[in-house]
Amino acid sequence: MKAAAQEMSGAPDAGPAPSASTLHRRLFQRAADYAARFRDEIGQRPPRPVISPAQLEARFAGPTPEVGGEALQVLDALHAAAEPGLTGSAGPRFFGWVIGASDPVGVAADMLASAWGQNAGSFATSPAAALAEKVAAGWLLDLLQLPKDCSVGFVTGATMANFVCLAAARSAVLHRVGWDVELDGLNGAPPVRLIVGDDAHTTVFAALRYLGFGERVTRIATDGEGRMDAQQLALALARGGGPTIVIAQAGQIHTGAFDPFADIVRLCRQHGAWLHVDGAFGLWARTVPELAPLTLALDEADSWATDGHKWLQVPYDSGFAIVRDEQAHRRALAITASYLPAATAAEYDPGAYVPELSRRARGFATWAQLRCRGRRGVRALVAQHCALARRLRQRLAAEAGIQVLNEVCLNQLIVSFGSGSDAERDALTRRVIARLATDNICLAGGADFHGRYVLRVSIIADPLTESDIDRLAVAIVSAWRHVEAGP
């Protein structure tokens, strides 16, 4: 500590070492200065790192440290090593994936969460963290227009939110037929029917694997936008009984499309199936009255998974597992031990709804973000991004040789280039995406969708404006014209 104090004071032999308070202030201020500088300059940074993987690794590499370094020197070294390898995901030139911009208010609250060092695993370990989550959970349910008595688990993201919700679903549907999966496991359990749309997100299948279901699912055909076919779902449900979980989607990852929830809810109720909704980003459409037709009856599902680090712009990591049946939620996830104080009726127990005994106090950033934006701010942001997506569609559709393939009902676009056969257009699309990467003006990537290779664009970062969308349109058109000109 003395050596660290000398280094941070800048005068190794000039009197007494600074106090611990002074050391902390200098260290945290240096981190804050680096963070502020990064955000100030992010609009001018290329969205893709320009350093090679080998060069970047070399900045971090070296022999295992034998002696600890000085605090400020280590922080400076981390900044110098990492800065060239950072993407522009928090800025206005990043459209590659559905990634929010980590709003500064949430970031500042997250910094406090790190400094406070609270374990949000139980009320006893941090009453403040527990009650921040309790209040934020109530606000979330209100904003998303979901039943007020739902339980909410603060998890890392939609992957774990799907896992938690499906764990609760597994517990509930087997409990109904007299099987205690928490006690007896899955060996010998009644088979659970799992029904998903063909265009379900990959994290849904990951969650099913983690839960011991594998990929033995009934897949339901989807339309050109990725929406589940309700008639095919009806046929699948009519073919057999037993415990059943149906997984629907609010916001298809490529097109933004929503499954037909009114029909799906009716069918699930008719057949006694648990309905889970993967709404990683699409669930936030419920905050915008104009988007209500997309989410009709969605609140009648049994569980919902969504992200905080997408449209809510909370820093990574943040997600919410929302379950109508609190008993099933607690039965599936709660961890108990004799040394862990049991929460009283007056003490909210956040650890009962997530699979982690030790975890970050995620509720502070969520509480701060919701308190800062309010209902109107969240609604305005979602509506703005949807309007920007429509603006981009208009700009691109006006250009010869460019086709926007989806309806653009939300914030996602998929785009194809050229003419001729599908294979020829796919080849041109790949070349356009490669050219975009070379130009490094805006970041957007590619994906396979229904047998086609497409450019996919996600409009979800907070700072985006019409001028940012126009710059993106120009970059895409320029890349296409370059490819079109050949060779």
Sheet of 151-155, strand order: 151-155, 319-323, 303-307, 274-278, 244-249, 193-197, 218-220
pLDDT range class, residue 119, cuts 50, 70, 90: very high
Contact 406, 255 (CB under 8 A): yes
- Residue 12: what pLDDT? 44
- The mean pLDDT of 78-104, rounded to a whole number, is 96
Q: Round to whole Å and give the CA distance between 124 and 484.
A: 64
Q: Output the DSSP codes for 416-484.
A: EESSSSHHHHHHHHHHHHHHHHHHTSSB-EEEEETTEEEEEEE---TT--HHHHHHHHHHHHHHHHHHH
* Number of C-beta neighbours around residue 129 at 10 A: 27
The residue among 373, 377, 370 whose CA lies nearest residue 141 is 370
pLDDT range class, residue 17, cuts 50, 70, 90: low
Burial class (CB in 10 A: 0-12, 13-18, 19+), 240: exposed
- Residue 10: what pLDDT? 43
Which residues make beta-bridge pairs with 193?
244
Contact 339, 104 (CB under 8 A): no
| First-last CA distance in the chain | 63
CA distances from 135 to 317, 464, 476 (A): 19, 29, 43
Bridging pattern class, strands 244-249 and 303-307: unpaired
Sheet of 452-458, strand order: 402-404, 412-417, 452-458, 445-449
* pLDDT tens-digit readout, 448-466: 999 999 999 999 999 899 9
Q: For tokens 């046929």, what's the residue?
A: 235
- Residue 7: what pLDDT? 43
* pLDDT tens-digit readout, 283-331: 999 999 999 999 999 999 999 999 999 999 999 999 999 999 999 999 9
Contacting residues for 479 by C-beta, under 8 A, at least 6 apart: 432, 433, 435, 436, 439
- The mean pLDDT of 432-437, rounded to a whole number, is 98
Q: Which domains does the chain have, with CATH numbers?
A: 2-86 (1.20.1340), 107-370 (3.40.640.10), 375-485 (3.90.1150.10)
% of the chain residues with pLDDT over 70: 97
- Residue 240: what pLDDT? 80
* pLDDT tens-digit readout, 466-476: 999 999 999 99
- Residue 205: what pLDDT? 96
Q: At what angle are helices 326-333 and 158-176 packed, to 10 degrees?
A: 110
pLDDT range class, residue 155, cuts 50, 70, 90: very high
Bridging pattern class, strands 274-278 and 244-249: parallel
% of the chain residues with pLDDT over 90: 91
pLDDT range class, residue 1, cuts 50, 70, 90: very low
The residue among 461, 456, 409, 135 whose CA lies nearest residue 285 is 409
Dihedral (CA of 23, 28, 34, 37) sign: negative
- The mean pLDDT of 93-98, rounded to a whole number, is 94
What tokens appear for 126 in the block? 């941090």
State the average pLDDT for the chain: 94
By three-state DSSP, how is residue 244 classified? strand
Contact 446, 429 (CB under 8 A): yes
pLDDT range class, residue 209, cuts 50, 70, 90: very high
Q: Round to whole Å and give the CA distance between 19 and 17.
A: 6
By three-state DSSP, how is residue 152 classified? strand
The residue among 105, 106, 133, 102 whose CA lies nearest residue 119 is 133
H or E element that contains 249: strand 244-249
By three-state DSSP, how is residue 402 classified? strand
How far, rounded to the nearest angstrom, does the alpha carbon of residue 289 sit from its chain's CA centroid? Answer: 23
Torsion of CA 383, 386, 391, 395, to 10 degrees: 170
Q: Round to whole Å and give the CA distance between 82 and 60.
A: 8
pLDDT range class, residue 340, cuts 50, 70, 90: confident
Q: Is the pLDDT of residue 11 over 80?
A: no
Q: Round to whole Å and give the CA distance between 369 and 63.
A: 41
Q: Report DSSP state, residue 7.
A: H
Q: Round to whole Å and give the CA distance between 120 and 143.
A: 23
- The mean pLDDT of 346-372, rounded to a whole number, is 95
* pLDDT tens-digit readout, 120-138: 999 999 999 999 999 999 9
* pLDDT tens-digit readout, 170-192: 999 999 999 999 999 999 999 99
Burial class (CB in 10 A: 0-12, 13-18, 19+), 460: buried
Q: Which of 42-46, 148-152, 239-243, 249-253 has the lowest mean pLDDT?
A: 239-243
Maximal CA-CA distance, the chain: 83
* pLDDT tens-digit readout, 270-290: 999 999 999 999 999 999 999
